[in-house]
Amino acid sequence: MRVFLTTLTVTFAALSSAYAVEFTPAERLKLQPSAMEGPSLDTMGLRPGMDLKDSLKAIEAEFDQNDKNQQYKTKTESFSLKSKGVEINTTQFVSGVYILSTWYLPPGTPSPDKISGISLQFSSPASGNKLMSIARDIYYKDPNRAPTKDQIHKMLIDKYGKPSLEEWNEGIKTIAFARSSGRYVKCENLLDCTVALPQYELSNYQGGGFSVGNKADYLLRISIDRNNYDMSGTKVGAIHIKLFDKTVADRAAQADIAALVEKANEVAATAPAVALPKF
């Protein structure tokens, strides 16, 4: 898959191009997970800024690439820029890993208590091909084999400490754990801790960078949904977990874009001259 970066704040714009170059950007930024006070805001040991190998190792106990009951997909793509009559393409890199287990097992196989899925996004080699965002989903069908919402709430508080936000909305409980410059921050509403976490795409970076709310730069948001098969209203039907670090993503995007712009300038300087008409 090829992703074109068509507009940049440095005034590079998309142009028709007849001169294309592919390159593998050198790592120009040594990213690490952000430091923070208090408990680690991770899920399954995953935090933005980890490299690809360590990210996959962290989830291998629950998500096995060889498990036939799981759909395991790896996405590769290329970041591209068209500018000054040239087209710059990075070589393909792993930009995403998507895994989803299923209820539909072979006959005679006991039904699992839960199924789960995970989506991981990674930056380009210019920023070290690092983990940028995590989205994880856990589903329960049989309420007799599902935990209660109170049980999950206690587990979250025990692991992550004081929440930045807790809200109920039509049986769905949202809990957010936020940091700003590594420190705990209290969110007054969902706008402070954002409703939807961004995707790591270079086009989303333009206009001031990524956003995880008015107050936070690091956000772990967890939604606990009711189980529609449970008449008591106490059992869990699904848990949705999202994790994003604006600081890590902003720095990665800057490095990924800078590699493209630098290469475009280099290639444009040596590209064949424009063919002029004869009068």
Specify the pTM.
0.87
Which residues have C-beta within 8 Å of that of residue 183, sequence separation ≥ 6? 36, 37
For residue 55, give both structure tokens.
Answer: 């990210």
- Cα dist from 143 to 227, 228, 233, 269, whole Å: 7, 9, 10, 65
Reference 156, options 176, 138, 142; nearest CA is: 176
Looking at residue 103, its pLDDT comes to 72
Closest by Cα among 106, 7, 184 to 176: 184
- The pLDDT score that the predictor gives to residue 67 is 63
pLDDT at 60: 84
| Tens of pLDDT, residue by residue, the chain (279 residues) | 444 444 333 333 333 445 788 999 999 999 999 999 999 999 999 999 999 999 999 988 777 655 666 788 899 999 999 887 788 999 999 999 999 887 776 777 777 788 889 999 999 999 999 999 999 999 998 999 999 999 999 999 999 999 999 998 878 899 999 999 999 999 998 889 887 888 999 888 876 789 998 899 999 999 999 998 998 889 999 999 999 999 999 999 999 999 999 999 998 888 777 778 888
Domain ranges of the chain: 2-270
Structure tokens that stand for 267 in this block:
């290639």
Please calculate the CA angle 221-187-122 and round it to the nearest 5 degrees: 35
pLDDT at position 82 is 86
